[in-house]
Structure 1
Amino acid sequence: MYLINGRQQAFLAADDRAVQFGDGCFTTARIVDGNICLFAAHLARLQEGCSRLAIPFDRWDELRQEMSSLAAGQAHGVLKVILSRGSGGRGYATGGCGAPGRVLSVTARPDHYARWREQGVALALSPVRLGRNPLLAGIKHLNRLEQVLIRRHLEQTGADEALVLDSEGWVTECCAANLFWRKGNRVWTPRLDQAGVNGVMRQFCLRRLEQSPFQVMETQAREADFARADEAIVCNALMPVIPVRAYGERRFSSRALFNFLAPLCEHPNSL
């Protein structure tokens, strides 16, 4: 089901800048018992994306109501919200654009997450690297061609997810998830000020880890640093937290970090 600018329809104008240039941002939220998990955080992500991209979206109360209405009555599902600069302008110029647009949809939650949670996932190093760009780093904009290429390569391996480096070789994220790893009681996650997506679940995990016995740090790390970890997990708003069982020949058997975070992330505050 699609809701585009408040109307049930499945077509977006060909001159919308989301189509023409990927000029917009989005978020993807988990629905549990009719509630949107981490609702406020998803709205904050969209607000930051619009601010960073200078998209003058101002119908936040209306958007909040539409999101709530679509989630209501859904026992489990996925809510995706896209905000576009709208139609208009000439070439890349934004002058003359109409009102920003919004696209909402609800789909089923992927079935394989339950299996991944029990078995863990295997990671493969991706040959596709993320370009460094501090102007866009962190936000979930609509330009996802790097992830499309990462996923295309991943499908040619036997792995479940990819370990993704940036163009200078720093560990950054996975194809569709953020990454944490642990050695002893110290936990690391990549800095995302140059590349990558600062996921809603990543932010939630960081807040919980700051109040835990673990010492957490955002860092720049090489692939070899990650490979020496005692444990690793991946996370996103839908999973929400999954243990890593293997990276190449490296096997991870400990689940101390996963066992701490999983119960907290399974039913986070839905308000």
Structure 2
Amino acid sequence: MWINGAAATTLPAADRSVQFGDGCFTTARVLRAEIQLLSEHIARMRRAASVLCIDGVDWAALEREMVHAAGQQEEAVVKAVITRGQGGRGYSAAGCSEPTRIVSVSAYPAHYHALRKHGVKLTLSPVNLSKNPLLAGIKHLNRLEQVMIRLHLDQTDAHEALVVDTSGCLVECCAANLFWRKGNHIFTPDLSQSGVDGVMRRHIIRLIENTSPWTLHIVSEPVKALSDADEVLICNALMPVLPVAQASGEKYSSRELYDFLLQSC
């Protein structure tokens, strides 16, 4: 692990990431020593920092540190965190002029390889996501909703959780974005009110929008929208895409969209 470019494993207790979850992060896949979609990860972090009004980030240094962390890794995970830095006791960010950069590397989740073959089982989470259009889409450090979703998921035999918002509309999974297909029509949830607009989600949207015969729809739909889907898949920067075999009792066998996306993800 590196903090502001120096090897370290401890962070000052006064850092606002510890005190308030004040920051953002991204998690990237390393393949043959290269970070996949690196420019998109940096762009995503820039968007999040802008929303959070975190100024003064040395973006060039962060990118160098991420590349260094990838090193000679054949397959691994690089995580990058930006915090507002150290501050006083209260909420005010006054005087926080030196953001903190944290970069770490860890092993690639090996179970993703098996799930590509056998497919993913999804269960409906009892935890609903709150709506917050100000923070919707960005990957900020306040992840308590996801922690609670994962706690409930770990009590089941499912691999991932379908998550809805407080209006009952599909948003995402615990740690992945969601797509489903009906014929040539591809659907993904609207993330303007809650959820994380993932790097792989954006990549897939661009692929679909630029490829015939697919038609993309960004929608607000309940879980029952999946009942007549021909195919369901989930994605994140690490997976990068996985086919869904079962979701809330419905079973899926088609991999038409999955096979198409796998060529470019």
Same fold (TM over 0.5): yes
Residue segments in structure 2 that go unaligned for 5+ positions in a row: none
State the Cα distance separating 1:174 from its structure 2 match: 0.2
Range moving further from structure 2, 157-166 or 66-75: 66-75
State the Cα distance separating 1:82 from its structure 2 match: 0.3
Please give the per-residue CA displacement for 1:69-111, whole angstroms capped at 9, x wherever unaligned: 1112111100000000000134101112240001000001001
Give aligned-pair identity as a percent: 51
**In structure 1, what is the equivalent of residue 190 of structure 2?**
191
Within 5 Å, give how 1:128-147 maps onto structure 2: 128-147=127-146
* Secondary structure at 1:261 match in 2: helix
**In structure 1, what is the equivalent of residue 96 of structure 2?**
97
Q: How many Å separate the matches in 1 of 2:9 and 2:234?
A: 32
Residue segments in structure 1 that go unaligned for 5+ positions in a row: 266-271
**In structure 1, what is the equivalent of residue 245 of structure 2?**
245
* Secondary structure at 1:164 match in 2: strand
State the Cα distance separating 1:66 from its structure 2 match: 1.1
* Secondary structure at 1:228 match in 2: coil
Q: How many Å separate the matches in 2 of 1:115 and 1:33?
A: 20
State the Cα distance separating 1:4 from its structure 2 match: 0.5
State the Cα distance separating 1:57 from its structure 2 match: 3.1
Please give the per-residue CA displacement for 1:120-167, whole angstroms capped at 9, x wherever unaligned: 001000010000000000000000000000001011111110000001
Within 5 Å, give how 1:76-225 maps onto structure 2: 76-212=75-211, 213-225=213-225
Please give the per-residue CA displacement for 1:166-193, whole angstroms capped at 9, x wherever unaligned: 0111100000000000011100000100
Aligned length: 264
Q: TM-score, normalised by structure 1?
A: 0.96
Q: How many Å separate the matches in 1 of 2:207 and 2:129?
A: 28
Q: TM-score, normalised by structure 2?
A: 0.98
What stretches of structure 1 move > 2 A for 4+ residues in a row? none
Q: How many Å separate the matches in 2 of 1:157 and 1:64?
A: 38
Task: Give yes or no for contact 2:56–2:97 (8 Å, CA) kept in 1.
Answer: no
